[in-house]
């Protein structure tokens, strides 16, 4: 998860509210350009290099250990809620980003289509675990004509059952068809399963 901006704002705001006196640091001469502690002062209090703390405050908590998060929390004198929030930010920064991959289009081998076409006495189709119809013979296309009569591809039995207004007329017992559809979607996903329409 990319939460760098939230980390930046959180650490910078907590650093800005602390004075050197609160942190127990001596005051050096001259005026301070920033309110609160300098990054180098927080780094000193946390026991890390100024460059390392700067990296943290720029929002990069990836790979940071719990002990380092605890050291920063102590240096900034965070209360329990703030400390917990900082740990949550660190955990979120270290969580792998899940990229939803588009499922590859499944196809059947030409030999499977030939086998289906040779079945001239019964409607038959091949579907996958998502209930996409991958191949069908002519009788299955005729029997399931409303399912095939949609621009959405691939043809999908679940989409038809739940989203197409014609499903109530197509299935003699829509409730049973809906229950079966849900049960099929919850079964472990295996390779494409040949299905003979009845």
Backbone phi, then psi, for 177, in 5-degree steps? Answer: -65, -40
Q: What is the tens place of the pLDDT at every residue in 53-97? A: 999 999 888 888 899 999 999 999 999 999 999 999 988 888 765
Characterize 103-125 residue by residue with b for buried, 16 or more Cβ atoms within 10 angstroms of its Cβ, and e for exposed: eeebebeeeebebbeeeeeebbb
Domains in the chain, please, with CATH? 4-94 (1.10.260.40), 110-196 (no CATH)
**CB of 142 closer than 8 Å to CB of 151:** no
In the numeric block, which tokens belong to residue 69? 């998060």
Kindly report, residue by residue over 151-198, the tens digit of the pLDDT: 888 999 999 999 999 999 999 999 999 999 999 998 875 444 445 554
Whole-model pTM above 0.75? no
- Alpha-carbon distance of 102 to 42, in angstroms, equals 45
* Predicted local confidence at residue 24, as pLDDT: 85
Residue 46 burial (10 A CB sphere; 0-12, 13-18, 19+): buried
């Amino acid at each position: 998860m990319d939460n760098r901006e939230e980390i930046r704002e959180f650490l910078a705001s907590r650093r800005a509210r602390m004075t050197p006196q609160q942190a127990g640091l001596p005051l050096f001469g001259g005026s301070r350009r920033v309110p609160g502690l300098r990054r180098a002062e927080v780094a000193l209090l946390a026991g890390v290099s100024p460059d390392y703390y700067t990296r943290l405050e720029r929002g990069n908590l990836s790979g940071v250990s719990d002990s380092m998060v605890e050291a920063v929390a102590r240096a900034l004198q965070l209360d329990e809620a703030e400390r917990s929030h900082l740990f949550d930010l660190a955990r979120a920064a270290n969580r792998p980003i899940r990229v939803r991959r588009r499922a590859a289009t499944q196809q059947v081998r030409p030999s499977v289509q030939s086998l289906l076409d040779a079945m001239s006495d019964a409607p038959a189709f091949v579907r996958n675990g998502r209930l996409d119809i991958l191949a069908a013979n002519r009788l299955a296309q005729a029997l399931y004509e409303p399912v095939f009569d949609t621009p959405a591809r691939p043809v999908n039995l679940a989409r038809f059952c739940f989203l197409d207004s014609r499903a109530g007329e197509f299935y003699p017992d829509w409730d049973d068809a809906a229950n079966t559809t849900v049960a099929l979607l919850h079964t472990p996903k295996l390779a494409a399963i040949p299905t003979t329409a009845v």
